[in-house]
């Protein structure tokens, strides 16, 4: 990290939490400027596929507490 970036980092860390959160959001948004059209299209297709399975009843649904218990048991 450059000296300038280190100076900015120290100054930012002295700000109140709400101002740091605002800056963090701004920085993250500045990194998300470019959108991968292929990725967007792939996500759109996946969402459509999942919606169709929900609508036609072929999706296997589980209550959240069961899914979370499975994950917890798997990674203990």
Residues 28 and 55 in one domain: no
Residues 29 and 44 in one domain: no
Residues 41 and 68 in one domain: yes
Residues 50 and 67 in one domain: yes
Residue 76 — pLDDT band, cuts 50, 70, 90?
confident
Q: Measured between alpha carbons, how far is 27 from 20 in angstroms, rounded to an integer? A: 10
Domain that holds residue 7: 1-33
What domain count does the chain have? 2
pLDDT at 36: 78
Residue 9 — pLDDT band, cuts 50, 70, 90?
very high
Average pLDDT over residues 48-56: 97
Residues 26 and 44 in one domain: no
Mean pLDDT score of the chain, rounded to an integer?
A: 92
Are the C-beta atoms of residues 42 and 48 closer than 8 Å to each other? Answer: no
Which stretch of DSSP H or E encloses residue 66?
A: helix 64-74
Residues 1 and 27 in one domain: yes
């Amino acid at each position: 990290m450059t000296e300038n970036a280190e100076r900015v980092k120290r100054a930012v860390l002295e700000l109140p939490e709400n101002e740091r959160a605002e800056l963090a959001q701004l920085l993250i948004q500045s990194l998300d400027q470019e959108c991968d059209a292929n990725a967007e299209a792939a996500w759109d297709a996946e969402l459509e596929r999942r919606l169709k399975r929900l609508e036609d009843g072929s999706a296997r649904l589980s209550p959240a507490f069961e899914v979370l218990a499975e994950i917890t048991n798997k990674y203990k």
